[in-house]
Structure 1
């Protein structure tokens, strides 16, 4: 469950995420915090879900927001807020995976919801999602992470900031991940 579920409705703030965070930090404006969670909660949760299992994704997501609320983590403004938030989540996830000694494990979730399709189409979509999810889990953690961040809409520079890697390293990870997925999807189509 993503935290933004608790704040339904479209959020179109007049302020940027950075300004919302500043308002929350300076004035304790809970409305600003609610808007931040509504803006970034689902994306953060789904990024973590693709890197781990549902329970761990929920825990890490909540830890990130709690760190933000309790001022244990402080946004310094050296990047955009979303990049900083994902960096915080990534570090928390890696720490937890190291603690649990389970770098490569993930339980695939059943987040398929396709009402307007026929049962055959729903089955085909479900199989494609499952295949993609299984292929993603076959990727090394660093390649999967880079690809998930790119799919989340982060630029190459932002991925470099989040992962603390150089641009050539990130480009290589993305290239190898795409090649792997393409090779395996071509094999599946031929079968």
Structure 2
């Protein structure tokens, strides 16, 4: 009887734990605070698929690739760059220096947005929490994007996040995951030249 009761109690405890885990998985909460996203930018290079180059320097993988920039932009210069997306203003702000004077730059952005209070059908709900498909956009002030007008190559400009997501401006609010942010060279087929990173 004691063994049977112990098994029953253990089973009940396990059921409660599983139920609690399921509840937590279904009700993952938004954070209480996420005021802005900001990142320094580094130079973009092509991805490496090792194909025979041996590396003998210590502390590094034994294979690599000679660096190339054919799938990305190899024309735009950059001493430094930074991107910031602010909750308060709802703007994407760009800062940089040493870019090619007269060059034209746009922002490439991929976001995954989850919103509450969404009306749905199949099933019909009036206050659902919905995650939308990832949205990738390339945006900048029309018609040319951000133009580098200073001889120093300085860039200081901004654009509303809602304007970047103009097809679905409602995605400019909610739990916004920044899956990718990059700068592209308009004058080279919108190829990426800068991505978030650290230069050490």
Q: TM-score range with shorter-chain normalisation?
A: under 0.3
Write 1 or 2 for the structure with the bigger share of strand.
2
Alignment TM-score, normalising by the size of structure 1? 0.23
Alignment TM-score, normalising by the size of structure 2? 0.22
Structure possessing the higher relative contact order (Cα contacts under 8 Å, 6 or more residues apart): 2
Write 1 or 2 for the structure with the bigger share of helix.
1
Select the structure of larger CA radius of gyration: 2
